[in-house]
Amino acid sequence: MRRTGRSREDDLDAVALLAEPTRRALYEFVSSRADFVGRDEAAREVGVARKLAAFHLDRLADGGLLETTYARLSGRRGPGAGRPAKLYRRARRDFDVSVPARDYALPAHILSDVVATSPAVRDEAVGRAHDVGVALGADARREAGSPRSRARLHGALEMVLESEGFEPEPDADDARGLRLRNCPFDSLAKEHTDLMCGMNHALVRGLVEGLRIDDLDAVLDPAPDRCCVRLLPSTGTERHA
């Protein structure tokens, strides 16, 4: 259950790298992108020289916060195509940092084991996730103020999803919808996929209901490297992939 290969001290050292403002800005930019990012693009976005960007990006990669690959950005191959560029993407691993040391993952995995083996408890957990989503949505609707336009409610939805770690972005197949780039419960979902995807779906569906947004449906659509839930334009009845 517990990640191995890196110590708590390693994680503390890695997170400490983000104390430097330029480095943190570069990390946040790379993290906002679904695919690999080159040094030139990162430097332009943050407003620093390419050489300085490369230095900080490599420090982040050495610390395990970013992962790297090499590719020719022009797409050309063969003689005259130039050297492959070094590209960066947010690392797919988690970092556990708390002072003093805490371990909430272990009891979470134990409880998930129990819930997953009891259909009645599983249904209760999914129902509770829906109730939490409705409450979050209702709070966000109140905070959105008046008039509650569609744009304002959609903005409130994205703010809640962002605050809960889902990293919403326009859906690649339908820009009217939202794709959730990150699963906040990834380590649990890998061991208990049906349970966690059911709870995720119920939570997001409840959030939409609590906000009283009637033009989006929360849809179960599992795919690698993103949350199992998508938000797609409503068809009048909830869709299930």
The predicted-structure confidence for 134-159, as pLDDT tens digits, reads as follows 999 999 999 988 888 889 999 999 99
Low-confidence ranges of the chain (pLDDT < 50): 1-4, 239-241
Tokens of 87: 């590209």
238, 218 contact by CB (below 8 A): yes
CA nearest to 213, candidates 148, 128, 129, 127: 148
CA 147-148-152 angle, 5° bins: 115
CA distance 181 to 224: 10
CA 45: distance to chain centroid? 21
Q: So what's the pLDDT on residue 34?
A: 82
Q: What per-residue string of b and e applies to 52-61 under the rule 16 or more CB within 10 Å gives b?
A: ebbbbbebbb
Query: Model-level pTM?
Result: 0.74
Q: So what's the pLDDT on residue 8?
A: 72
Write down the domain spans for the chain. Answer: 8-90, 105-233
Mutual angle of helices 193-211 and 150-163, in 10-degree steps: 150
8-90 folds as: Arc Repressor Mutant, subunit A (1.10.10)
CA distance 153 to 170: 15
Q: So what's the pLDDT on residue 172?
A: 82
57, 72 contact by CB (below 8 A): no
Instruction: Give 160: exposed, middle or buried? Use CB within 10 Å, 0-12, 13-18, 19+.
Output: buried
